[in-house]
Amino acid sequence: TQLLEQSPQFLSIQEGENLTVYCNSSSVFSSLQWYRQEPGEGPVLLVTVVTGGEVKKLKRLTFQFGDARKDSSLHITAAQPGDTGLYLCAGTRGSQGNLIFGKGTKLSVKP
Amino acid sequence: DTGVSQDPRHKITKRGQNVTFRCDPISEHNRLYWYRQTLGQGPEFLTYFQNEAQLEKSRLLSDRFSAERPKGSFSTLEIQRTEQGDSAMYLCASSRTSGTPDTQYFGPGTRLTVL
């Protein structure tokens, strides 16, 4: 059983479209992080959210942590081909240091 | 701040051989993590160190796996008697315990292929 469920698994869109990726759990997380990963490379941190209801913006990317700290979303406005990659959400629980990852959403933005 | 580095980037080995990977964390990061990522999956936690102490090990870390961080700086991950199922990307990450939350920064990974 996956503790963090990401949806959709795959997303193929045209340049300029908007999209939202979801990360859901039945468990509470003390923090949640979003990473983007290119093929053959390690994940690159995009954002960390810690407070229920928190919203963070990074240029065209908007991240939200659910009020109950069980879910999160990533919204991309006017997607560009450079946004193509694997988007991973990962959370920490309590005092545990290790990250629990979802399976990721593979995004492809076509020009 | 040069980021987390890992060596080698790629390793091809025959089943039954031993392999060792190295990770150099961001300087002054006292926590170091190892993860494994197979195709189509997110990374899975293997083990982590705070300074030189190994504080937690996942059940994924069989007795063929051993990790060390002798001086609290770089770390090595050794796999003995490799099996084809060990083929994966091995990722290292580091963080500072003084950071809230414990934000982890990843290296580029070592891709292991066991033939």
Task: Say whether pLDDT at B1 is over 60.
Answer: no
The residues with which B34 forms a beta bridge, in sequence order, are: B47, B92
What are the Cα distances from residue A72, in Å, to A1, A45, A66, B104? 19, 15, 6, 18
Residue A14 is which amino acid?
Q
Where residue B100 falls among pLDDT bands split at 50, 70, 90? low
Instruction: Note the pLDDT of residue A9.
Output: 95
Cβ–Cβ < 8 Å for A102, A8: no
Extended strands (E) in chain A: 5-7, 10-14, 19-24, 31-37, 44-49, 55-58, 61-65, 71-76, 85-92, 100-101, 105-110
CA distance B102 to B84: 33
CA distance B35 to A63: 25
The residues with which B54 forms a beta bridge, in sequence order, are: B49
User: To which residue do tokens 């991240």 refer?
Assistant: A63
| A97 Cβ under 8 Å from any chain B Cβ | yes
Task: Say whether pLDDT at B49 is over 70.
Answer: yes
Over the stretch B50-67, which tens digit does the pLDDT of each residue have?
A: 999 998 888 888 899 999
Chain A interface mutation, best of B5, B39, B103, B110, highest count of A Cβ atoms under 10 Å: B103
Q: Which parts of chain A have pLDDT scores under 50?
A: none
Q: Which one of A42, A48, A103 has the shortest CB-CB distance to B101? A: A48
Task: Say whether pLDDT at B101 is over 70.
Answer: no
| B107 Cβ under 8 Å from any chain A Cβ | yes
Summary mean pLDDT of chain B: 92
Over the stretch B74-98, which tens digit does the pLDDT of each residue have?
A: 999 999 999 999 999 999 999 987 6
